[in-house]
């Protein structure tokens, strides 16, 4: 075995010693050269996670890639255990590391580092005066203009920033850019950018495979030299401008195209794209505001899957009447499409004593009271929709728990559920927990409570449970 992946594998769910035996066997595989491990930071950001990371005595890792990093401690622990890294790729958010912070980390823990590929997304407090915001960005970027960055390593940084409500949103990355999605979102119309590199036009963005393109985004001269030659997923707002084919000159790798169509339908532009996208497999009409319904008599020799669940400007989904369905079934695009079988049902595991919400009523009920045919509240694209119960199975399980969130509700497999078990009245239980929340707020304990009950929750659970008051609440 040379490659091994662990996806959605939670360290905290394993017993310590058996897990350690498994980990030791993994790192002892003689031909293992690639290991992917998906860690959950809320559960695994604890000292015990070190037990599951290979020791440098047993493994000499030289290349490390970390994605969606939001735990400084986990990352530093890794660096301490893997000092032989010479190639590091990090995609992180919500951690405000300056150039000085990175220098200290690299000098202390990663003395062999030669290749550093970085992307960070975070935010600063927004000033009222735009000049103060720009000075704040300049002061931050100055930490990446030191001799350590420019002269010793020649690691150059590009910084994007924009104002969003009370925040100054920042995105920085090393050049050349080495991540598969474009670093600036399409609706960041007011974004500004600056770089520490004097000859950036020689750096490519060939690693980018996913981009959301809008004409306003690429009006900035900063992007005039960029070419995206390996795009596989493209979200496009029509009409396209004259910059498009100079920025995306090659769409032969395009696999998925998502289009937004305004009131003025640009059939010719879209058809020209389809003619050039010889390997396009999936076409999505994300939104349209035309009287005519897609697919507008468009043709493509490669498209095998259509998504026509688009919305209008009011964010209401379009629907096809019988006549439109008949026209659709005989259209050129639909004829070439394959039938896509997808089971629309799925299973949700939840404790019988857990509180969940029916769609028809606003009050919570025990999961044990749910019957066939009831509709539950599910979250779908930021909207709460009804979902019908078609089968109920009871399964005996242990150690089932849910986090205690500030809102008193959470989403489990898209199901709107309560934080509270045993208590019948969700709103009253939330009121009883207010002193506990206030106490944690005063002490600055903002993290979400996970599976371990503290003293306050234990007392509230113990006495009412003994006196059966929980079922009265």
Q: Which of 321, 342, 363 is the last residue of a domain?
A: 342
Domain boundary among 170, 186, 205: 205
Last residue of a domain, which of 342, 375, 398? 342
pTM equals 0.63
Note whether 399 and 463 are same-domain residues: yes
What's the Cα-to-Cα distance from 210 to each of 65, 182, 228, 261, 272, rounded to whole Å? 19, 6, 9, 19, 20
Q: Does 332 lie in the same domain as 297?
A: yes
Domain count across the chain: 3
Do 317 and 295 sit in the same domain of this protein? yes
Residues 6+ apart with CB under 8 A from 198: none
Look at residue 160 and tell me whether its pLDDT is greater than 50.
yes
47: confidence class by pLDDT, cuts 50, 70, 90 = very low
Q: Which SS3 state, helix, strand or coil, does residue 119 take?
A: strand
- Based on the fold, state whether residues 400 and 320 are members of the same structural domain: no
Same structural domain for residues 274 and 299? yes
- Which 8-state DSSP code applies to residue 306? E
Specify whether 238 is located in the same domain as 284: yes
- Distance, in Å, from the CA atom of 235 to the CA atom of 298, rounded to the nearest integer, reads 18
Domain assignment of residue 123, yes or no:
yes
Q: Domain check: are 239 and 291 in the same one?
A: yes
Asked if the structure places residue 16 within a domain, the reply is: no
Q: Count Cβ atoms within 10 A of the Cβ of residue 244 and give its class: 0-12 exposed, 13-18 middle, 19 or more buried.
A: middle
Q: 180 or 3: whose pLDDT is higher?
A: 180
Least confident span in 43-47, 193-197, 269-273, 416-420: 43-47
pLDDT score recorded for residue 452: 43
Q: What separation in angstroms does the CA of 372 have from each of 349, 389, 424?
A: 16, 5, 21
Q: Which residue, among 381, 353, 379, 385, has the nearest Cα to 367 in the 3D structure?
A: 353
- 72 and 191: one domain? yes
d(CA 208, CA 198): 22
- Given this model, what pLDDT does residue 326 score? 83
How large is the average pLDDT for residues 264-286? 88
pLDDT band at 408 (very low <50, low <70, confident <90, very high): low
Residues 193 and 232 in one domain: no
The domain in which residue 383 lies consists of: 354-471
Of 223, 224, 221, 262, residue with least CA distance to 240: 262
**Could you report the per-residue pLDDT of 417-449, keeping only the tens digit for each?**
666 655 556 566 666 676 766 666 666 554 444
pLDDT band for position 36 (50/70/90)? Answer: confident
Task: Among 267-271, 307-311, 334-338, name the most confident range.
Answer: 267-271
pLDDT confidence of residue 321: 81
**pLDDT exceeding 90 applies to what percent of the chain?**
22
Of 348, 370, 350, 346, which Cα lies nearest the Cα of 360? 370
If we measure between CA atoms, which residue out of 384, 432, 386 comes closest to residue 408?
Answer: 432
**The total number of residues written for the chain in this structure:** 473
Closest among 68, 107, 110, 122 to 91, alpha carbons compared? 68
Does one domain contain both 65 and 168? yes
């Amino acid at each position: 075995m040379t490659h091994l992946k662990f996806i959605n594998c939670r360290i905290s769910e394993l017993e310590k010693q058996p897990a350690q035996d498994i980990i030791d066997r993994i790192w002892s595989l003689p031909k293992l050269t690639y290991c992917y491990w998906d860690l959950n930071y809320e559960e695994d950001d604890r000292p015990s996670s070190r037990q599951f990371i290979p020791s440098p005595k047993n493994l000499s890792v030289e290349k490390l890639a970390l994605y969606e990093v939001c735990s400084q401690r986990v990352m530093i622990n890794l660096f301490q255990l893997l000092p032989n890294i010479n190639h590091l790729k990090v995609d992180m958010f919500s951690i405000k590391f300056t150039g000085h912070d990175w220098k200290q980390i690299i000098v202390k823990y990663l003395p062999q580092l030669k290749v550093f590929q970085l992307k960070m997304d975070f935010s600063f407090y927004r000033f009222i005066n735009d000049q103060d915001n720009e000075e704040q960005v300049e002061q931050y970027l100055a930490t990446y203009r030191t001799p350590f960055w420019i002269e010793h390593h020649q690691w150059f940084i590009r910084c994007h920033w924009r104002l969003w409500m009370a925040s100054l949103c920042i995105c920085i990355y090393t050049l050349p850019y080495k991540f598969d999605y474009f670093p600036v979102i399409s609706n960041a119309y007011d974004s500004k950018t600056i770089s520490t590199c004097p000859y950036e036009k020689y750096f490519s963005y060939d690693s980018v495979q996913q981009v959301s393109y809008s004409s306003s985004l690429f009006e900035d001269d900063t992007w005039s030299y960029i070419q995206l030659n390996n795009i596989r997923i493209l979200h496009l707002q029509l009409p396209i401008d004259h910059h498009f084919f100079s920025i995306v000159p090659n769409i032969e790798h395009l696999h998925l195209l998502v289009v937004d169509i305004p009131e003025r339908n640009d059939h010719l532009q879209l058809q020209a794209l389809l003619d050039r996208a010889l390997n396009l497999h999936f076409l999505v009409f994300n939104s349209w505001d035309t009287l005519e319904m897609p697919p507008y008599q468009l043709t493509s020799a490669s498209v095998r899957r259509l998504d026509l669940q688009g919305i209008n400007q009011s964010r209401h989904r379009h629907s096809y009447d019988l006549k439109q369905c008949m026209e659709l079934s005989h259209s050129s695009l639909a004829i070439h499409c394959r039938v896509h079988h997808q089971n629309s049902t799925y299973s949700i595991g939840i404790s019988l004593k857990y509180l969940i919400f029916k769609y028809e009523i606003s009050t919570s009920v025990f999961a044990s009271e749910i019957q066939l045919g009831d509709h539950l509240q599910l979250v779908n694209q930021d909207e709460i929709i009804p979902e019908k119960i078609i089968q109920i199975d009871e399964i005996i399980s242990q150690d089932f728990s849910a986090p205690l969130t500030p809102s008193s509700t959470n989403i489990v497999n898209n199901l709107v559920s309560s934080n509270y078990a045993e208590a019948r009245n969700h709103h009253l239980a939330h009121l009883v927990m207010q002193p506990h929340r206030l106490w944690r707020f005063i002490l600055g304990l903002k993290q979400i409570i996970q599976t371990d009950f503290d003293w306050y929750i234990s007392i509230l659970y113990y006495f009412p449970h003994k006196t059966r008051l929980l079922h009265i609440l």
